[in-house]
Structure 1
Amino acid sequence: MPALVNYRGDDDYHTGGSLCSKDSTRFLSIYGSPCKRQRISDSYSLFLEEEKKPSIEVLPDVLLYEILRRLPGGQARSASACVSNRWLTILSNVRTSEMVHEPSNDTEMVQENDGFLTRCLEGNKATDRRLQSVAVGTSARGGLGKLSVRGSNKVTKIGFTAIAHGCPSLKVLSLWNVPSIGDEALIEISKECHLLEKLDLSHCPSISNKGISAIAQNCPNLSSLTIDSCKNIGNESLQAVARCCPNLQSITIKDCPNVGDQGIATLLSSLSSVLKKVKFQSLSITDFSLAVIGHYGKSITNLALIGLQTASQKGFWAMGSAKGLQSLTSLTVVSCYGITDLSLEAIGKGCGFLKQILIKKCCFVSDKGLVSFTEATESLECLHLEECNRVSQQGILGSLKSKLKSLTIVKCMGIKDFPQETPEFTQCGSLRSLTIRDCIGFGNTNLATFGKFCFELQNLELSGLCGITDSGLSSILENCQAGLVKVNVSNCLNLTDKVVVDLAKNHGGSLKVLNLEGCRRITDESLVSVADYCLLLTDIDVSKCCISDNGLHCLSEGVQMGLQVLSVSGCSKISNKSAPFFKKLGETLVGLNIQQCHLISSSLVDSLIENLWRCDILY
């Protein structure tokens, strides 16, 4: 009973304010006359039941709010939030600026809210209660800096209001597949989190221009914006960003049907001096937008144009001919029918500092355009061609330049393996990385041609090339003077132990990574050579090869001292006899793949997991 009188938590009786009439009657009936015996009524029994609850629970939310915001530190707030959902809700709505830091004897260290904590909530774990807990728990532990919510339909404005109130230090917000989140949540974030620098929205159909505009108006530090598959976001959002976000450096817009030329033009023209990274994908923009990019993109260093089906050759030609992309160093063009030989040549002439380009699924690019482009770009270092079927080996060889360091060719079906006159490549000694992947027409003749000028190669990937044999690869191995560091010949079915032995002998002093996955003619003999010559090897993959226990035995006794990753997945001849070899190799291993090794028992797997505790084991 004294708790009812002293519910404020101090030493004075409550003399002011008002108790409801029912409570007043109970109070007088209990304390009115100490000499008179009182009858226990139903009302009094109900009162006794209520008295069993903690006394502070009778306080209204407004008073409980005043108490909880005066808690001495983060530990006390977190503990209080665990009392009940009511307390959690009240604490999560206390703004950091409203917390009263009164002097106390608590030794807890108070940290400034610098925003270095990161939280990621996914699926069923992403709820309003969880967001409220994050808001309370991080507010006094350095502050929440990054928040990611993925794949949830259980979060609402309530949870994000808590984040807004408790986490003003928030700098990065990422929402992916969160259909229950609408403009109200972003508006709450914009009111409190003025330090926001990066916003990433993907598959959020309930967010519209209203929410993006609120962020733009209240978060001037915004430097990165990604909008992916948000059907209700359009030109109005981009115009608001253009007006209010002078620090925006990176913009990605993908599959937003309401974004058009008007929004793109306003964005590019208003932020021409700061915008550096631009990616537009699957948008209904026309040649006008490309011309604007070419004219106003003077600060753009990275540009990606993907799936722009409504842009023609004229737009890409105008983009290059405008000669405004003078800072552009990286260009990616995928599935754009407007990229032709003519427009590609114009881009080469207009982008004088371009260092790397990726062209994929551009069916109108041929040898002529590729050669003209590379002749016009003096600074080109990395060339990546993928699924450009009009390009042949003649165009590729003709595009090699003195400064080219990396060449990647993937699924280019126009490449055929037949003899031809090889141009002079005395000036092409800079190539460090060569990747030829899944080009079914690429064979030994093509490989021998590359072997004539690949003197400085360090990284070599020849993947999925059934047309090459030991003799073709040997021409490159013999001519590489710098020493190969990474070699990937996965799924080259006709390679044998002979070429691996040559590789180990000639490049064992430099080789660090070797991938032989799917080379079914590779046996223990290859591992013997690797064990004898490859001193620096850190990663080897012999999955689906003809490797047995004897091969692993030799590898474990080899000269290599720092093997970190070993994959023998699908090697049907490896059994429990390899247990001591695995354990010896495990002294340095951090990754081991023994999947689909059916002769390895579960008991051995358990033993390896127990003994190789520093190693991630796939089984």
Structure 2
Amino acid sequence: MPALVNYRGDDDFYAGSTLCSRDSGFMFSFHSHDEIYCPSRKRARVSVPDMFGGRLCEYKKPSIDVLPDECLLEIFSRLPGGREKSAAACVSKHWLTLLSSVRSSEFCRIKAPNGPSDTMNLDKALNEDLDVECDGYLTRCVEGKKATDLRLSAIAVGTSSHGGLGKLSIRGSKSLRNVTNLGLSAIARGCPSLRVLSLWNLPYISDEGLFEIAKECHLLEKLDLCQCPLISDKGIVAIAESCPNLAAITIESCTKVGNESLQAIAKYCPKLQSIAVKDCPFVGDQGIASVISSGSTVLTKVKLQGLNITDYSVAVIGHYGKAITNLTLSGLQNVSQKGFWVMGNAQGLQVLSSLAITSCRGATDLSLEAMGKGCNNLKHLCLRKCCFVSDDGLVAFAKAAGSLESLLLEECNRITQNGILNSLSSSNSKLKSLSLVKCMGIKDISQESLTLSPCESLRSLSIRSCPGFGSRSLAMVGKLCPQLHHLDLSGLCGITDAGLLPLFECCQAGLAKVDLSECVNLTDEVIFSLARFHGKTLELLNLDGCRKVTDASLAALADSCPLLNDLDLSKCSISDFGVYALSCGVQQSLQILSLSGCSMISNKSMPALEKLGRTLVGLNLQHCNSISGSTIESLTENLWRCDILS
């Protein structure tokens, strides 16, 4: 009671008076003539009658929360280090919000000097601390429900004393309003060392957020914007004007972004090395041409997808893209054959090494030949869904592009077996890798109809999901490509043992990686041949879905393949005996083994699996219904170094 009576503070009051406060609250009657003020706080004041003075005395627990924000900010700015700031931020959301509203440069990082020696080293210590904070070592990624303004504020406060935030990726959700400009502003104020910023699927981030980034994060080097519908030219222009180190920018599905943004990037970003623009309806020739023709000698990567540009932009690329090494053009429906033809004949893409064209009507036989002649150093070509490219264009391109090393054709249905084989047998061919995916025009032809010379340079051949490619074509490829190391024939339901056996016999260099998944007609005979001819070099074998492969194949692999480290036997007809045979084999480095869907494997395979587990780092036992849960638990316990899927 004496403590209550003797309490003195700024909230003491007297009986009969009406209490007022700066904070909002409410009044209630204690006696007929006395009113007590109770502020709207979580902890209510406790009032009792004063038995000595005949007046009421109020007790209120002291709290720092009664201080105005200005005082709190003064206190926070004098916290000695990052640990103390983080501890203060954990007190309440209000404190966290206040701390995140302070710029990193406004905190007093160094304690006051105590003497002459401290004073002499003050500037040096401060500079060292600033250097540490601006290095930008840390990387943070927030996604989905975890992407909130509160979490971004915590990141802004917590990372400043641990090397500084250098890379931030935010992936939001359209259904949740988690991240707004408030969170991005907190990052801007607290993370001046930010160099990489990725904003994906954030419908409530607008130009205001980018204004704050531009104002504080002058070291920004990479900006990635995807599905941010409120961001317009104003925000990107601000970034371009304030971030001269910007080297890479990606703008995708930002419907308010137009030519003005690209013009500002061309004007203010001399270090730009990479630009990618996709599905931005207001970006046209004016914006693309300004970036390409800006005279930059460091712009090496250009990716344009789904834009309303015309032949003019593509022609500008051909004339001024002298430093471009990687070029991707996709979904450019307004670019005709003339545009691609000019791009090739302009002779400006002399250092271009990688070209990818997808769903472009202007990609024809004539334009493809022109690009082959004009791009002397082209090494990698990818054509997807180019429905007007036929055998003539492919063969002409192969003859013109003497440096070509890698060719990928996907859904190019006018290209046939003749075009592929003639391209491979070109006299100046340096092709090392060929991939054919879903090319419906490829069908078996008679071997006598072609006279071809071998392609000694080809090391990797991938033919996937081409239903017309059969055993006769495969036998012909074997004779044409004797130096293969990698072979991928996944999804070729039409091939049989008769087609693969001659190919294995013709491969002189020794196959290292073979993918035969979903080749449902293959039997053990193919595996016997593979083990006999290439067992000493084989490192990877995928037989997923080859239901005619049995335990006999495993016995052959166990005896002949010492280098095998990745084996997929999913949905094959193997049993406990096959697993046992494999465990007794010569494999010294088997690391990945998949037995998914092998219903004949049971608990009896546990000793063999434990023996194999000495080297395994990955084991897939999903859908092996004959293996009990207790066996899986025992394997998990014994093979603690191996990642087991069950």
Matched, 1:422 2:450: yes
Out of 284-293 and 466-475, give the one that drifted further.
466-475
Of the candidates 607, 614, 631, which is equivalent to residue 580 of structure 1?
A: 607
Give the CA deviation at 1:53. Answer: 4.2
Matched, 1:495 2:516: no
Q: Deviations over 1:501-548 (max 9, x none)?
A: 111122121111110111111011111111111111111101111111
TM-score (norm 2): 0.87
User: 1:257 — aligned with what?
Assistant: 281
User: Given that residues 505 and 533 in structure 1 are in contact (C-alpha distance below 8 angstroms), is that contact kept between their aligned partners in structure 2?
Assistant: yes
Q: Deviations over 1:136-159 (max 9, x none)?
A: 111100111111111233111111
User: 1:15 — aligned with what?
Assistant: none
Determine the C-alpha separation between the residues in 2 that align with 1:146 and 1:284: 32
Of the candidates 104, 111, 130, which is equivalent to residue 103 of structure 1?
A: 111
Going from structure 1 to structure 2, the CA distance change for 1:245 and 1:236 (only over 3 Å counts) comes to same
Determine the C-alpha separation between the residues in 1 that align with 2:586 and 2:539: 13
Determine the C-alpha separation between the residues in 2 that align with 1:327 and 1:562: 42
Matched, 1:59 2:59: no
Give the CA deviation at 1:455. Answer: 2.0
Determine the C-alpha separation between the residues in 2 that align with 1:148 and 1:605: 38
Name stretches of at least 5 consecutive residues in structure 1 with no aligned partner.
Answer: 7-19, 27-35
Give the CA deviation at 1:92. Answer: 1.3
Determine the C-alpha separation between the residues in 1 that align with 2:555 and 2:7: 83
User: 1:12 — aligned with what?
Assistant: none
User: 1:122 — aligned with what?
Assistant: 143
Q: Deviations over 1:456-504 (max 9, x none)?
A: 2111101111221112112221122221111001111111111111111
User: Given that residues 131 and 162 in structure 1 are in contact (C-alpha distance below 8 angstroms), is that contact kept between their aligned partners in structure 2?
Assistant: yes
Determine helix, strand or coil for the equivalent of 1:270: coil
Determine helix, strand or coil for the equivalent of 2:255: coil
Give the CA deviation at 1:605. Answer: 2.3
The amino acid across from 1:447 in the alignment is: L
User: 2:124 — aligned with what?
Assistant: none
Give the CA deviation at 1:345. Answer: 0.6
Give the CA deviation at 1:271. Answer: 4.6
Q: Deviations over 1:86-128 (max 9, x none)?
A: 21112112222112123389xxx96443112111111111111
Determine the C-alpha separation between the residues in 1 that align with 2:475 and 2:492: 14
Matched, 1:205 2:229: yes
Give the CA deviation at 1:575. Answer: 1.5
The amino acid across from 1:423 in the alignment is: T
Matched, 1:463 2:522: no
Of the candidates 65, 78, 82, which is equivalent to residue 90 of structure 2?
A: 82
User: Given that residues 133 and 160 in structure 2 are in contact (C-alpha distance below 8 angstroms), is that contact kept between their aligned partners in structure 1?
Assistant: no
Q: How does 1:468-479 map to 2 (within 5 A)?
A: 468-479=495-506
Determine the C-alpha separation between the residues in 2 that align with 1:472 and 1:296: 49
User: Given that residues 558 and 584 in structure 2 are in contact (C-alpha distance below 8 angstroms), is that contact kept between their aligned partners in structure 1?
Assistant: yes
Going from structure 1 to structure 2, the CA distance change for 1:433 and 1:580 (only over 3 Å counts) comes to same
User: 1:403 — aligned with what?
Assistant: 430
Give the CA deviation at 1:607. Answer: 2.5
Q: How does 1:271-420 map to 2 (within 5 A)?
A: 271-400=295-424, 401=426, 402-420=429-447
Matched, 1:593 2:614: no
Matched, 1:138 2:159: yes
User: Given that residues 422 and 449 in structure 1 are in contact (C-alpha distance below 8 angstroms), is that contact kept between their aligned partners in structure 2?
Assistant: no
The amino acid across from 1:101 in the alignment is: R
Going from structure 1 to structure 2, the CA distance change for 1:165 and 1:40 (only over 3 Å counts) comes to farther
Determine helix, strand or coil for the equivalent of 1:506: helix
The amino acid across from 1:138 in the alignment is: T
The amino acid across from 1:525 in the alignment is: A
Determine the C-alpha separation between the residues in 2 that align with 1:227 and 1:618: 38
Give the CA deviation at 1:39. Answer: 4.2
Q: Deviations over 1:578-609 (max 9, x none)?
A: 22222222222221211111112222222233
User: Given that residues 270 and 296 in structure 2 are in contact (C-alpha distance below 8 angstroms), is that contact kept between their aligned partners in structure 1?
Assistant: no
Determine helix, strand or coil for the equivalent of 1:399: helix
Aligned residues: 586
Q: Deviations over 1:147-172 (max 9, x none)?
A: 11112331111111111111111111
Q: How does 1:158-173 map to 2 (within 5 A)?
A: 158-173=182-197
Matched, 1:73 2:94: no
Determine the C-alpha separation between the residues in 2 that align with 1:244 and 1:523: 65
User: Given that residues 272 and 296 in structure 1 are in contact (C-alpha distance below 8 angstroms), is that contact kept between their aligned partners in structure 2?
Assistant: no
Of the candidates 199, 203, 206, which is equivalent to residue 182 of structure 1?
A: 206
Give the CA deviation at 1:425. Answer: 1.9
User: Given that residues 181 and 207 in structure 1 are in contact (C-alpha distance below 8 angstroms), is that contact kept between their aligned partners in structure 2?
Assistant: yes
Determine the C-alpha separation between the residues in 2 that align with 1:252 and 1:380: 25
Out of 448-457 and 434-443, give the one that drifted further.
448-457
Determine the C-alpha separation between the residues in 2 that align with 1:378 and 1:252: 29
TM-score (norm 1): 0.91
Name stretches of at least 5 consecutive residues in structure 2 with no aligned partner.
Answer: 11-18, 23-35, 37-50, 115-127
User: Given that residues 113 and 141 in structure 1 are in contact (C-alpha distance below 8 angstroms), is that contact kept between their aligned partners in structure 2?
Assistant: no
User: Given that residues 113 and 140 in structure 1 are in contact (C-alpha distance below 8 angstroms), is that contact kept between their aligned partners in structure 2?
Assistant: no
User: 2:459 — aligned with what?
Assistant: 432
Determine the C-alpha separation between the residues in 1 that align with 2:574 and 2:165: 50
Q: Deviations over 1:429-453 (max 9, x none)?
A: 1111001111111112111111113
Out of 440-449 and 363-372, give the one that drifted further.
440-449
Determine the C-alpha separation between the residues in 1 that align with 2:452 and 2:577: 47
User: Given that residues 272 and 297 in structure 1 are in contact (C-alpha distance below 8 angstroms), is that contact kept between their aligned partners in structure 2?
Assistant: no
Give the CA deviation at 1:574. Answer: 1.3
The amino acid across from 1:544 in the alignment is: K
Out of 574-583 and 231-240, give the one that drifted further.
574-583
The amino acid across from 1:590 in the alignment is: V
Determine helix, strand or coil for the equivalent of 1:598: coil
